[in-house]
Amino acid sequence: MQLRMTNQREMILRELKKSKKHLSADELYERVKKFMPRISLATVYRNLEILSDASMIRKLEISGRQKRFDSELEDHDHIYCVQCHRIENLDIGDKEVNLTEVDTRGYAITGRRLEVTGVCPKCQKKNSKKNAKK
């Protein structure tokens, strides 16, 4: 199957790269729509799948309600706010995770990801206000 570089696909790729965040399909749709008002959300979904199959972008397996995509291909780690679902990159050294001695149950390993969960500074602030009211 040949991949064609359509205007839509190019734009989606460009906007995802431009944003340093981990966007969901509809966030990306909103951005791309500014330049291509007639683009369809289905096109965004389809391209995100196609581009990640082609390893041009990365589909994040982090949850939340929506799938998220990242233009950064390298394995890297995330910190995830359990309250507002914000996801940010986490910079840890290679030395912090060492899989060499772990029994991986016969899996052919494609990647590893360290995900740290917590409450982000903004939500902490929100919470302390709430508690003060009570």
Partner DNA sequence: TTCTCTGCAAATAATTTGCACCCAT
Partner DNA sequence: ATGGGTGCAAATTATTTGCAGAGAA
Binding site for a copy of itself (CB under 8 A): 60-64, 67, 79-82, 88, 90-93, 95-99, 101-121, 124
> At a CB cut-off of 8 Å and minimum separation 6, what does 11 contact?
32, 35, 36, 39
45 near DNA, rule: CB under 7 A: yes
Structural tokens at position 57: 């972008």
Sign, Cα dihedral of 65, 71, 76, 79: negative
Binding mask 56-95 for DNA (x = CB under 7 A): ---------xxx----------------------------
Report, in Å, the least distance between residue 101 CB and a copy of itself. 8
